[in-house]
Every structure is written in C-alpha cells, then in structure tokens.
Amino acid sequence: MHRPCLWLSLALASGIIAGDRTFLPFAGWLFLFGLALAASFIFQRAVIFYMAVFCLGAVLIQNVYFLPADDMARLSIRERANFRSVEGIVDSDVRVMTGPMSSKRIFDLRVERIKVGETWAPKKGKVQAQVYEDIPVMYGQRLRLGGGLHTPYAGKPGEKFSYRDYLRRQGIFWILSVGKKSGVQIVGNGFGNPFVALSLKTREHTKAVLNKYLAPDEAGVIAAMLVG
C-alpha cells in the first residue's frame, strides 16, 4: 500500500474522532484494539493493522476521559468554592498574548496539589493557566499560583468550534485566571522533560533568528512551517 504514513495518520485521526463521538466505553475500544492487533499479526494484512490503529486512536481519546478520583476534573463544589491556590509544573510552551490594556501568559500547568481553605491536598491533572502578572515563566518550572478557576468558554450556539471541547480533549477542564496581584511564586526550576525543554529552546531560538533576518510576515510563515 502506497504512502503508509498517510494511511496511519488518517486511521489514527479517524479513531480519535470516533472515540470522541461514539458511546462505546474505554473497555470496549481496548478490547477491539487487542482483537484487531492480534488479527493483524495472524493474517498479516495491512488493512487489519490500520483497523488496529483506528481503535488505538479511540483508546487514546477515551483514556483522557478515564479520570481518577483525585483529578482536577472531579473538583467538588466545596473545593471550587474554597479554592485558594495551586502548585504544579509548567507542562507546555508559554504563549504571550498582548492586548491594548494588558498582556497575559498562557500555559498548561501539571497540578501536584491545591490549597482549599487553609489545607493543601494532593491533586492530579492539568489546568490552563492565564497569568496577567509580568513575570518570566518557562517550561519545567514549579509554580505556586493564586487565582480563580472557571470553565472554558464553550462558544456560541451553532458554532462548530468549541474551545471547551478542544481543551477537554487534552485533559484540561479548568482555566486558572491569575491576576496581577494574585501572586505568582517560582518554587523551583528544571522539573520538566529535558528533551522537551531542549526542543522548546531550539524552537524559540529559530524563531528569533527568523525574526531578525526576515520580514514579520515571512518570518511567521516560515516559522509555522519549520517549528510550528
């Protein structure tokens, strides 16, 4: 079969969509994946292998929704009402968005514990942090952030794109808004994956070089093609 990588990508993407849109539970998709994978080894047929990849895509997206009891997605009403702060690791690149009145830094925070009232409790999962304080934030830092939790915007009725669903597929169910006076504490550095940290530094360096020698529009297009 020609272009195997293309067919693999299509099978995986189709499986992710199917796993998100159908009512078959995680265990069902996992069973089908194991069955298709075993059949692909027995019969040595590419089509059956692509079916296994399709089921794998569904398993991956269903695994996002298979959440433990201490995940951030399962916050109780009491925990949300008495939420004070969170401590965790910066788990993504940091995007800076500049507006007419202020700027904010947006990144994923891998949660380790939260403060409810005066008590710290261990937690898992991720939140999207939106920090309005002008402070240098980098991948792999351990931060302690105060602020307020709210659900992502779902979009207007009839719109095809939902930012809430987009974050949900990444295992993120809350946005943490951190104001200028809410308090950002850098507890430590270097807690991320070293390979991811190197990749992000390389990407930022590449963008800086392109911005230095090319026009803004050209630099943006080439940067998107090369490093995303």
CATH classification of the domain holding 90: 2.40.50.140
One domain, residues 179 and 85: yes
Among residues 34, 49, 65, the one where a domain terminates is 65
One domain, residues 42 and 143: no
One domain, residues 29 and 90: no
Residue 193 phi/psi, 5° resolution? Answer: -70, 125
Residue 171 has pLDDT above 90, yes or no: no
- Kind of pairing between the strands at 142-146 and 148-150: unpaired
Higher pLDDT, 23 or 148: 148
One domain, residues 180 and 201: no
pLDDT attached to residue 198: 86
Per-residue pLDDT tens for 67-90? 777 888 888 888 888 999 999 999
One domain, residues 180 and 116: yes
One domain, residues 80 and 138: yes
pLDDT attached to residue 220: 66
Q: What average pLDDT does the segment 174-185 reach?
A: 86
Q: How many domains does the chain have?
A: 3
Per-residue pLDDT tens for 33-59? 999 999 999 988 888 899 999 999 888
Q: What percent of the chain has pLDDT over 70?
A: 91
One domain, residues 105 and 29: no
Q: What average pLDDT does the segment 168-189 reach?
A: 87
Domain boundaries, position 12: 4-65
One domain, residues 119 and 150: yes
One domain, residues 37 and 124: no
One domain, residues 128 and 207: no
One domain, residues 88 and 170: yes
Dist. CA 158–CA 102, nearest whole Å: 31
Kindly indicate the confidence band of residue 225, based on its pLDDT and cuts at 50, 70 and 90: low
One domain, residues 101 and 205: no
Per-residue pLDDT tens for 151-160? 988 777 777 7
Residue 7 has pLDDT above 90, yes or no: no
CB 86 within 8 A of CB 137: no
Q: What average pLDDT does the segment 97-112 reach?
A: 87
CA R_g for the chain: 21
pLDDT attached to residue 226: 61
Residue 227 has pLDDT above 70, yes or no: no
Q: Whole-model pTM?
A: 0.68
pLDDT attached to residue 218: 66
Instruction: Record the tokens describing residue 145, joined without a space.
Output: 């952030």
Q: What average pLDDT does the segment 162-172 reach?
A: 85
What rounded mean pLDDT belongs to the chain?
85
Residue 144 has pLDDT above 90, yes or no: yes
- Name the β-bridge partners of 113: 87, 122
Sign (positive or negative) of CA dihedral 136, 98, 175, 12:
negative
